[in-house]
Each structure stands twice: as structure tokens, then as C-alpha cells.
Structure 1
Amino acid sequence: MNTDESQAGWDYRLVEVYSGRGDGVTVTIICNGKRIIVDFLPTESLDGTIEGPLIARYGAAILDEDVDEIDAAQQEIDDLIYTAGKRIFARLAPPLATGSQLGNLHSLLYPETISFRFATIDGKAELLKQDCDSYLEHTHPPLFQINNDLGLPKFSSDSIHVLEEIQGEGAITRVLVDGLERCCKSGEPFYWEAVAREADCLWKIARSKHALSIRVPKLTGLVTSADNGQTIGILEEYIPTDLKDLCTLRDVDTATINISRKKWASQIREMVHLMHEIGVVWGGGKPRNVLIHKDTDDAWLIDFGGSWTDGWVDEDLRETREGDEQAVGRIFDFLGV
């Protein structure tokens, strides 16, 4: 979206479009550090409204799994919201001072939230402010249990400084904790189960006889909510790398790294084998989840949140040893070894 405000330093991003069956469409936007929720609610008649046909169009695209139509509808939704709300957003969520976009983790995970309902009034698109308590009830996690036999220190979310957003709205971040760079995993409700699985896998590896042979990030701490002290995430060792991950090999002069490909492939296969010996399934096998340490040129495995990725693990093999083995084989093919 090309806007005057974006050129003036605005941070305006559509981050989620959700549609339930017959429930309309709910859009989440981040605007200058604040979360804006816009509901497109179904109407009794599609006639004479802007939102009615758009809700129907988006719902049909979702049912048909028409990616191009979904993208087009989302773009139209985004444009409508911005056009109707730009003056409101300028007042309620003004641009932040230069360099202040990233603050502490708590403000990133739980930004001030403003909710609107999109409505057609006298043929014009309007955003009507509404109560957002029902939304906020679902933004904090259920009881989140992490095995802390390792005696990990706990850090409040408002004491953790965010250096970089790696994924999602705080799902994965590079942070500074007590002067040390760490990787933090926390975030929105859909991600909490994955965080718990990752913590469990890393804990099992750390307590195993193969702890020194399986190169995975070490757990270094737990993140607690500044609101209630509840555990909401984990801190891990941050792995320094010149290559972001194996996928970025295509952007590197292959002549300089071809000699390492066989070593990396062998290391990945051996580490997955050792993990299976101690009952740990990677569940995230793909090149993007392999980092190459910039100091040692060794492969490290990351992302133990589970699930599967099309093209690397078949869905019916998700979170199984067979799925890991399939992923390793395909990584070998990717590396050309």
C-alpha cells in the first residue's frame, strides 16, 4: 500500500485476516506499535452495503482455496480499512519517534488494542469504535507448564529488550537479556503449544547422554508475563550465523561452500539419529530450520515446535521418526549430496 503516511515513517501492517463460517471477517493491523482490530460483520441483506459483498467474496475464496482471489480480497479489505480509517489512525496511533519501534517484549506481545466495526453509512465506508474486552480475554495464554528441572532463571517480559522481530508479532524475536543476545519464543495463542513442545524437546536433549553431540540451542531462561507472572515463553541460546539458514545457500557463491555440503548433510543425519535414540522427534525438518554456525561451520538444528512443511514432510508423517527421515533425505537432495 502506497501512502503518504508510510513515507513519513508510519509502521502500518496487515498481519491477519480471519474468517469463521458465517461470522464475517476480522482483520488485525499493527499501526505504529498499536494493534487495531476491524470487524466486518455479516448483514441481513447484501444490498446497499460495502461489507456484505466483500464478506461473501472472501468467504467463497476461502472455501475454494483460491489463493489469488484470497490475496485480492485481502488487498481490497486492507485498502478499504486504510481509506476509511487513516484520519482516525493518525489521531489514535500516531507515528513513533525514529528508532523507537522496538521496545520491550511485553509491549510487542500485548500492544494497546483498539477495536472498530466496519459499516456502510449513507453509502460511505466508516469505522465505528467498539469495545474490545472480548478480544483481550483471548490474548493471554492458558496455563503454560514448562518443565524447569534445569533451574532456568525467569525474566519478566517488560525487562526483555527486542532487537529484531524474526517471525510473527513477537512469536520469535532476537532479544537482549542481561546484556546477552538470546532467541525468544512466545507470541499469539496459536503458537503456545509449539513453544511448549520445543521446550520439552530441548529439555530432553539437554538431559540426555548425547547432549554434547546434538547441536541445538540451549534453553537459557523462561519468560514470564509482567502482568501476572505466568510463564509465556522461553529463551534460547542465539546461534550466530553468516548464512541465515540452508535456504540462503542459493544466494551464496557455491564454489566457496560446496566442500561443506557433505559435512553438513552428514551432521544433520547423525543428529537426527541420536535424537531418535533418546525419543525426540524433530518435527521441523527442512533447510530453513538448519543454521550454520559462523565460527565453527557446523550445522545446528532449530525449530522443535512440530507440525510439517509441504515438500519436506508428508502430512501423514508429521511429528514422526519416519517424517524426520523423509525430511533428512530431502535435505540431502537439496544439498546435492
Structure 2
Amino acid sequence: MQGFYTEFVNWDNEYSLDSFITLCVRHGDSVFYILYEPPLLASSPQLLEQYRQAYDILPQDDHEEFIKLANSLRAPFERLMTQMAGPPKSPQYLHQYLYPPQFIFEARVGEDKSQLQPSFKQVRFREYMQIPGEPVSRASLEPHLSPLLRTTIPRFSSDQVQVLTQTEETWVPSRVLVAGQQYFFRPWDYQGFKQNRYHELQAYAQIYADGQSDTPLLTSAHICRLHGIVIDRDEDTLQHYSLEGDEPMMLETRLVGLLLTYIERCGTLVSQAPFSNRSVEDRLRWSAQMETSVQLLHQTGVVWGGVKPQNVLVDVNGDACIVDFGRTKYTEGWVDEDKKGTVEGDLQGVQKIRDWVNKWSLNPLPPRDHRHPDANGSSIS
């Protein structure tokens, strides 16, 4: 966490003297909310006009200009953020990422009326924080989560998970260390794709149970596996954050993430199969490994669901690993919609991927450097 990372920018639909712009920025071990509001800039026509011009850029679909604007809005506050954040702690733990101190800044007019004056407003109160994860203590959620919580899958708190690498593009810790073992950390975000996540979780639980049985079927399968779950109690993680009012805040126990197989990868089939520096033998091996893994999954009652070449990772050993399970997923072009989440759909998609991989043996594209992943991080999508 050495640099500045703008998580998001919020703004009103149209510019007015009541509109606002809010930046959320991570730096060090802290999160900062930077507020731009016209009433605080009204005494400077120059700064107010600069603010209005920002609204000419924000609604436009120009990513490069948007990044430039976000950086220019953040720049005046960087010195103040550095002073308040202090140096990042080492080693870094997941707890610091999930529950950072949060501060609110305001853009005000400086003494000479032409320069913006960064100003600290307040520490953000607990009730306004977006607490990660899903509560696991509410009875309404038990049908989805209680079967998992009753298993022997290892549980860890976020202060037991050491962060090894983090991608600035997403600011999500990817490679983590727990009890001397490396894993891929996947935040548990159930909003919007709730059924996908639940089905995926059920698939991981079945795969885990197979590994604990006397006669495991998936020993030779090249798949991503669940190795642990990260569960935190609000009373442990939020005790240092004050409340604005006198009303007590409901405290929960939350599933905040999964510890999955860390796959050191070269890329997906999409970035590997088409190119001439991958041999016919490579492509045949990938197809065979994918088919075998899917057959073994079906024998244990698990449907892949996420059937597409983007969900087959080629690791540094040249093996093809299946990731991203979910019965409710529909991978357009690879599985018919009425077959999604079924064994029949898996078999249809696997055959289509095999045909797609094989065609590159006949007409491969020019070589490319396949030693580097085609997306940030290493593990599942």
C-alpha cells in the first residue's frame, strides 16, 4: 500500500450549486473521502469554474480523461493524506485492508482565493462505513450459509491473514499467507450475484468434503479448491470506531472472504491456445485435463457451470486448471441458456472449448510471450 489508489468517484447527475463530487482514496493503511462542494468554493470564481469544468468530463465515456481528472482532484490532498496515514505497517494483514481508519476531507478556498486549500473535516463514524462480507448470524440466511459453517473447513479471522501481494488496479489483496501456506483471497461479495455465490460456495464445500473422505475422487483433478473461510466479528473489528449517535449499532458475525488455491499462472486458454509458441501437445493436454477434471467433478455431484476458456487457467507447469463454479451462470456462446448449470451444459461447453482449442493447432497466431498472465494477479476470476 505504498501509492495512492482512487477506489471510486461519485457525482450528481448534473452540475448545480448544490451538486457534489466525492473521491474515495486509499493510501497507506487508511481510506480518505475527499468532498468537493460548490458552496465551499463559491468565494473563488476561478475554483468554482474549475469545478464546473469537471462536470464536462465526468459524464463522458473517456477513461483516459476521467483518470486525469480524478488524479487532478486528488493531487492537492496527497500531502495531507500522507501525513495522516503514516507509513504502512509491515507485515500487512488483511484486517488492515478490510477495516482501515477512514477520514473525511473538504476542498476549501485558500487565502489568496486562487488556490485550493485541503481541509480535514472529521473521522468517519462507524455507522457510515461499508462493512465487508455477509452476516452469518441472521436466521434468514441460514439455509445458504449454515451448511458451510457446519463443515470442518478451517476458519480464520482477517488478522491471521498476511497480505503478500496486492494489485493497484483493484486494490484487493490477491496472494496471502496463512499458517505458512499461500492462498488466493477472494472477497465475499454476495450483492447482485447472490445465487451465483451460494452455488459456488456449495460446490467448493462438496469438493472439500471429497478431499476429506476415505476414497477421494478429485485427487487428480486440476481445479481450484476452497482451503478456508475468513470470518470476522464486528465487535472485534469495529471496536476502535466511534458512533455518531447514542444508538448502539447491531453487531454481526460476517463471512468476509474465501481462501482458495493460489495458481501461479501464465494466463487463461484465451491467451495461451491461439499462439504458435504453444505446441499441439500443449493443446491436447489442456483439453484432456479439462475433460478429465469435469468428469471427476460430475462424479462427485459438482457442476462446473462457468464453462468458457477464460475460466481455464494455464499454470506455470503447463497444466490446465478449472476455476469459477456456479450452477446459475450462463456463458453465452459456450453453453445454451436452457442448459446452464447442468451436466449436459458442462459437456456441451467442454466440447466447444475443445474444438476451439484444436483449431489453433491448424492455424496458430504469431508467437507471444506466454510467461506473463493476461490479467492481474494469479488465481481465479
- Return closer, same or farther for 1:308/1:198 CA change in 2, 3 Å cut-off: closer
Matching of residue 298 in structure 1 with residue 281 in structure 2: no
SS of residue paired to 2:308? coil
Calculate the aligned-residue CA RMSD, in Å: 4.3
- TM-score, L = length of structure 1: 0.72
- Is the CA contact 1:39–1:117 (under 8 Å) kept in the aligned structure 2? yes
* AA of the residue aligned to 1:14: T
More deviation, 200-209/303-312: 303-312
The structure number with the bigger radius of gyration is: 2
Matching of residue 124 in structure 1 with residue 115 in structure 2: yes
* Residue identity (%): 18
Residues 169-200 of structure 1: CA deviation (Å, up to 9, x unaligned): 33x52221111122222266759946555322
Matching of residue 260 in structure 1 with residue 282 in structure 2: yes
- Is the CA contact 1:118–1:128 (under 8 Å) kept in the aligned structure 2? yes
Deviation of the 1:253 alpha carbon: 7.4
Deviation of the 1:39 alpha carbon: 3.2
- Is the CA contact 1:293–1:300 (under 8 Å) kept in the aligned structure 2? yes
CA distance in structure 2 between the aligned counterparts of 1:178 and 1:91, rounded to whole angstroms:
34
What is the aligned length?
313
Matching of residue 52 in structure 1 with residue 52 in structure 2: yes
SS of residue paired to 1:168? coil
More deviation, 19-28/147-156: 19-28
Instruction: Give the corresponding residue for 2:379.
Output: none
Deviation of the 1:31 alpha carbon: 1.5
Deviation of the 1:123 alpha carbon: 4.3
More deviation, 260-269/14-23: 14-23
Instruction: Give the corresponding residue for 1:198.
Output: 200
CA distance in structure 1 between the aligned counterparts of 2:351 and 2:26, rounded to whole angstroms:
37
Matching of residue 215 in structure 1 with residue 211 in structure 2: no
Instruction: Give the corresponding residue for 1:231.
Output: 255
Instruction: Give the corresponding residue for 2:30.
Output: 34
More deviation, 199-208/246-255: 246-255
CA distance in structure 2 between the aligned counterparts of 1:187 and 1:93, rounded to whole angstroms:
26
CA distance in structure 2 between the aligned counterparts of 1:317 and 1:260, rounded to whole angstroms:
32
Aligned equivalent of 1:81, options 63, 74, 86: 74
CA distance in structure 2 between the aligned counterparts of 1:30 and 1:283, rounded to whole angstroms:
32
Matching of residue 186 in structure 1 with residue 208 in structure 2: no
CA distance in structure 1 between the aligned counterparts of 2:107 and 2:351, rounded to whole angstroms:
48
Instruction: Give the corresponding residue for 2:3.
Output: 11
Deviation of the 1:235 alpha carbon: 1.6
CA distance in structure 1 between the aligned counterparts of 2:102 and 2:39, rounded to whole angstroms:
25
Q: Which structure's relative contact order is higher, taking Cα pairs within 8 Å and 6+ residues apart?
A: 2
- Is the CA contact 1:175–1:182 (under 8 Å) kept in the aligned structure 2? yes
Instruction: Give the corresponding residue for 2:306.
Output: 283
- Is the CA contact 1:26–1:39 (under 8 Å) kept in the aligned structure 2? yes
Deviation of the 1:52 alpha carbon: 3.1
CA distance in structure 2 between the aligned counterparts of 1:127 and 1:213, rounded to whole angstroms:
58
Deviation of the 1:236 alpha carbon: 2.2
CA distance in structure 2 between the aligned counterparts of 1:126 and 1:318, rounded to whole angstroms:
59
- Return closer, same or farther for 1:42/1:105 CA change in 2, 3 Å cut-off: same
* AA of the residue aligned to 1:204: Q
CA distance in structure 2 between the aligned counterparts of 1:307 and 1:40, rounded to whole angstroms:
42
- Return closer, same or farther for 1:44/1:11 CA change in 2, 3 Å cut-off: closer
Deviation of the 1:203 alpha carbon: 1.6
Instruction: Give the corresponding residue for 2:356.
Output: 333
* AA of the residue aligned to 2:105: F
Gaps of 5+ in 1: 1-8
CA distance in structure 1 between the aligned counterparts of 2:287 and 2:27, rounded to whole angstroms:
43
- Return closer, same or farther for 1:21/1:291 CA change in 2, 3 Å cut-off: same
Matching of residue 168 in structure 1 with residue 157 in structure 2: no
- Is the CA contact 1:11–1:31 (under 8 Å) kept in the aligned structure 2? yes
